[in-house]
Chains A and B, each alone.
Chain A
């Protein structure tokens, strides 16, 4: 039985799991949805009051919070929806075109 991380576009059909079953949890982290992003949120650490309103609004769990303090974005998974930009009361998140 293969770990999901080891199933890729080179895996022969004989080795894949029947019905595409996934035998472990949390495998969505393996898919780098950050590639889909065209707009990019940028955290302004100095303007941030750590109110933590942004984190629960993020639909992709891409704002890591540890010990009641947020850290920079998880750009591997952030799709650039901009919800955090809208909900931030302190304008501490800028929203810029990807690549700029």
Chain B
């Protein structure tokens, strides 16, 4: 059974859990079996939090945390100093970091990780399209692109349908989010 395991690092209140559940949502819509679950430490704003996804074509019954993920997503690059984000990360996998920094700069904090490193500057993308900093949508698009866990075209159309449903009363937000999504798919790059 081919199963993709993803670990998210963020800070409480920044939406890493929400992004993780969004990925579960959109993978579900694409017909997959999904798990999306947070790991709770202290429940407060700013505290580092971890969230996990398992995505596969069959039901996964395992109910433990993920220790050797294929992919890691870092929603807040200040966590690189505080958390061992590449712990257990498979070398044939990849890490996606929300950052505008260079690969060399970032690798200093990755404990010698030899796999691929991708960045997306979610702040610039989000502020351009939404006028505010919401890292969720760009990070979601970036991990979909990097992991290849979903068909890109279907992902775009499913997300559009989802935004139309979710923001039925605020149509201006739909366009902004779709802008974020498409730009992030294009802008995420290996460094």
A and B touch in the complex (CB under 8 A): no
A residues within 8 Å of B by Cβ? none
* B-to-A contact residues, CB < 8 Å: none
